[in-house]
């Protein structure tokens, strides 16, 4: 209080952050982002790998289930004309026995793999056919791998028609060519 009985108030003229404080904060944010982004990319790729592997297994299970339910053969084949599975696959029943996929025959269509994944298949000879008893016309194996060549997932289709997925090394490029 001053001599007249009024209270003195000290007011501060500083509001907000100083330029130095702001620059330090931005620098810390950049450092944290530089550390987090590679880990996040690996997490996203791992999630895509797991998702597509499970989607392929589910498609085989669906084809088997539909063959049993419909009492007729159901096919699963690559969408691409050249037979590569990276563009996705189709589950379908060839109701008119013409060997061609008609719109009314489609049961399920999958999307293509992301650019960070590759798929290699062995022994598919144009696709798989599930018979009315749930058995498949041939056994087969797929590998879904990261583009970087690291380990991925192996999907095996047994002679009984059951599909199973497990973590595994990717099929080598030499095997793919043979």
- The structure tokens listed for 42 are 């690996």
Q: Which CATH number fits domain 19-177: 3.40.50.1820, 3.20.20.220, 3.55.40.10, 3.40.50.2300?
A: 3.55.40.10
Question: Of 178, 158, 155, which Cα lies nearest the Cα of 166?
Answer: 155
Tens-digit pLDDT string for the chain (178 aa) = 556 666 666 666 667 878 898 899 999 999 888 887 777 788 888 888 999 999 999 999 999 999 999 999 999 999 887 778 889 999 999 888 888 888 999 999 999 988 888 888 887 667 899 999 999 999 999 989 887 777 789 999 998 999 999 988 775 443 443 3
Please tell me the distance from the alpha carbon of residue 2 to that of residue 8, in angstroms, as a whole number: 7
- The 10 Å Cβ neighbour count of residue 132 is 13
Is pTM, for the whole model, over 0.95?
A: no
């Amino acid at each position: 209080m001053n001599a007249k009985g009024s209270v003195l108030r000290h007011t501060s003229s500083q509001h907000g952050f100083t330029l130095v404080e702001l620059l330090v904060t931005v620098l810390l944010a950049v450092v944290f982002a530089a550390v987090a982004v590679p880990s996040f990319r690996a997490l996203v790729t791992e999630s895509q790998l797991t998702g597509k592997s499970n989607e392929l297994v589910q498609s085989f299970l669906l084809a088997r289930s539909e063959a049993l339910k419909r009492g007729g053969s159901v096919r699963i084949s690559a969408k691409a004309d050249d037979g590569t599975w990276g563009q996705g696959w189709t589950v379908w029943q060839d109701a008119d026995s013409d060997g061609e996929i008609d719109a009314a025959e489609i049961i399920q269509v999958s999307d293509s793999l992301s650019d960070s994944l590759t798929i290699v298949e062995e022994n598919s000879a144009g696709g798989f056919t599930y018979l009315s008893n749930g058995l498949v016309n041939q056994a087969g194996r797929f590998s879904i791998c990261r583009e970087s060549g690291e380990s991925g997932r192996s999907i095996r289709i047994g002679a009984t028609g059951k599909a199973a997925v497990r973590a595994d090394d990717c099929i080598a490029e030499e095997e793919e060519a043979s």
